[in-house]
Amino acid sequence: MVTGWLFPLLIVVLIAALGVGWWLGVKRSSGTGVAVAHTKRAREHPRFRRRLQILRVALGSILAVGLLGGVTSSYLAARPSGDISLESKLATRDIMLCLDVSGSVIDFDAQVVKSFSEIVKDFEGERVGLAMWNSGTRLVFPLTSDYELVINQLDYVARVLSDSYNYDGYSDLVAGTSAGYTYGSSLIGDGLVSCAQSFDQEEDERSRSIVFATDNALAGSPVFTLEEAAQLAADKGIVVHGLYISGGWSDDNEEMREVFESRGGYYYAAEDAAAAQEIVAAVQAQDAVDLGVVGETITVDTPGNWPIAVGLATLLLLGLAWRFKL
């Protein structure tokens, strides 16, 4: 308890008050009073004796309820409490989901985003971010462990990409991912570099991963090739896992496989039903031992059901007093 000495003190005070009340009652009953003649028959009348018995039961009940209320109130006044430990699992892993939204894969992106959503549901404590790219890159949401926000955003993106008639929603969604026809489209290496620049807290010891979804169909002149971008990410300690979107304009998936697997990443086909679980396992295999986070112990009140008991005792006491006109 926060004030453990208060409960026994209040019990002692309550018992003392009851003792004083009893002593005063005895003293009053033994004192001189006014004698009333011819009351024996009245006191022996069955109705009088029944009413007297009811009154005694009522007084006894009020005393018992009052005692219960006093004891429980004194217990609550002592503020019963307990300690709980809070262990932070907001630890060491950062994952950027990087989605190609160029024309060659846009019809397949909704399913890829749904795969992203399935991946996120199996994370615990990891920070997740989403970026979309074409010839430019748009950060949809930065790294965060607010999974409700992440799931809501991914569901929204999937809905917009699934609705081919939602032109306004689509335009708003991909705004900023096109740098103009001068640079072409689907600048894969540049998209990967932009995603690699989305990680914060670079001075902290964290594992960093990118899930990079594309059909690897280059249609422009990027600043970075895929090989150069993958090496830049590796130099930053970022592991890139490739999620190949087949069905677009390219079947050049072997380059992705070689580039990412040669640097410790993995390669998956987007239509593979097991890809989401395999990506989760691959990400969680990195730095499996979380950084040490000092747990926090806090003291909280633990009143249990005693406040309810106090309330019921008070209502019962008032009800008895009103019923018997006390």
Number of domains forming the structure of the chain: 2
Segment 31-47 mean pLDDT: 64
CB contact at 8 A, 260 and 242: yes
Do residues 209 and 265 both lie within one domain? Answer: yes
In whole angstroms, give the CA distance from residue 321 to residue 150: 59
- Answer yes or no: is 167 within a domain: yes
The strand pairing partners of 239, in sequence order, are 209
Residue 182 belongs to some domain of the structure: yes
What is the distance between the alpha carbons of residues 199 and 206, in angstroms, rounded to a whole number? Answer: 10
Same domain, 163 and 246: yes
The residue type at 142? P
The pLDDT confidence band at residue 131, using thresholds 50, 70 and 90, is very high
Domain check: are 121 and 250 in the same one? yes
Asked if the structure places residue 87 within a domain, the reply is no
Question: Which residues does 89 contact at the CB level (< 8 Å), separation at least 6?
Answer: 124, 125, 290, 293
Q: For the ranges 9-23, 84-98, 194-208, 270-284, which has the lowest average pLDDT?
A: 9-23
| 212 in the same domain as 279 | yes
Query: pLDDT band at 31, cuts 50/70/90?
Result: low
CB 138 within 8 A of CB 175: yes
Task: Look at residue 295 and tell me if it is in a domain.
Answer: no
316 domain-assigned: yes
pTM of the model: 0.59
Q: How confident is the model at residue 291 (pLDDT cuts 50, 70, 90)?
A: very low
Determine which of 82-86, 126-130, 233-237 has the lowest per-residue pLDDT on average. Answer: 82-86
Do 63 and 108 reside in the same domain of the chain?
Answer: no
Predicted confidence (pLDDT) per residue in 85-123, tens digit: 555 444 578 889 999 888 778 778 888 888 888 778 777
Which stretch, 24-33, 118-127, 202-211, 316-325, has highest mean pLDDT?
202-211
Domain holding 233: CATH number? 3.40.50.410
What average pLDDT does range 167-182 have in this prediction? 82
Q: Which range is least confidently modeled, 1-10, 108-117, 224-233?
A: 1-10
Helix axes 147-162, 167-174, angle to 10 degrees: 130
The verdict on 55 and 173 lying in the same domain is no
**Do residues 220 and 176 both lie within one domain?**
yes
Task: Give domain status of residue 319, yes or no.
Answer: yes
Same domain membership, residue 280 and residue 189: yes
Query: How is residue 197 annotated by DSSP?
Result: T
Mean pLDDT of the chain: 76
Domain span at residue 238 reads 93-284
Same domain, 72 and 188: no
Instruction: Decide if 35 is inside a domain.
Output: no
Whether residue 143 is found in the same domain as residue 275 = yes
**Domain-embedded: residue 291:** no
| pLDDT tens-digit map of 238-276 | 999 988 887 655 555 788 889 999 998 888 887 776 777
pLDDT at 233 exceeding the cut of 50 = yes
pLDDT at 262: 92
